[in-house]
Amino acid sequence: MPEKYTMKMTTKGRYAVTAILDVALHDSNGPVNLSDISRRQDISLTYLEQLFSKLKKNGLVESARGPGGGYRLAQNPDQITVAKVIYSVDEPIDVTRCKGKQNCQGDLRCLTHDLWMELNMHISGFLNGLTLADLINRNNVKQVSERQDVVMMQLQS
């Protein structure tokens, strides 16, 4: 039986995708407040503010000020790829040690450089082919979102 390995993506990219998906799931009711996302997704409000500043700068979300303010998607969910979200928060998708510069072993290319570059291409292709609309339409995403909404309503009562 082969061993299982997991690749790690930093918190920034993971949280950005989670938070913008939360907006996509809830913005039909108007702008989504960051404190609601913070509570539903257990992400620090300060961290969300930093992420949404970058998401806004990159044209993925727009903000509404004042009472009832918050964020909504600036594009249709079928136009926003997971890769676009990750890249917009300055998160590279790269499993090489050399960031593609081919200086993995001192100033030279390492033995497995091409393998890791190929993996980068597969990951990038997968994430570029997956949109927020695709995620929204997954049954398990809907179930988790509904459970989170129930918990939020219970906390507000």
pLDDT tens track for 23-52 = 999 988 899 999 999 999 999 999 999 999
Give how many domains the chain has, as a whole number: 1
Is 119 strand, coil or helix? helix
At position 157, the amino acid (one-letter code) is: S
Residue labelled with tokens 């920034």: 12
Q: Domain span at residue 63?
A: 11-133
Q: Supply the CATH number for residue 66's domain.
A: 1.10.10.10
At position 111, the amino acid (one-letter code) is: L
**Do 98 and 104 form a contact (C-beta atoms < 8 A)?**
yes
Those residues with Cβ within 8 angstroms of residue 111's Cβ, 6 or more apart along the chain or in another chain? 105
Series of mean pLDDT values for 10-residue runs along the chain (157 residues)? 54 94 93 95 96 97 89 97 92 77 82 88 92 93 88 81
Those residues with Cβ within 8 angstroms of residue 138's Cβ, 6 or more apart along the chain or in another chain? none
**Does residue 152 fall inside a structural domain?**
no
Tell how strand 70-73 and strand 61-64 pair up: antiparallel
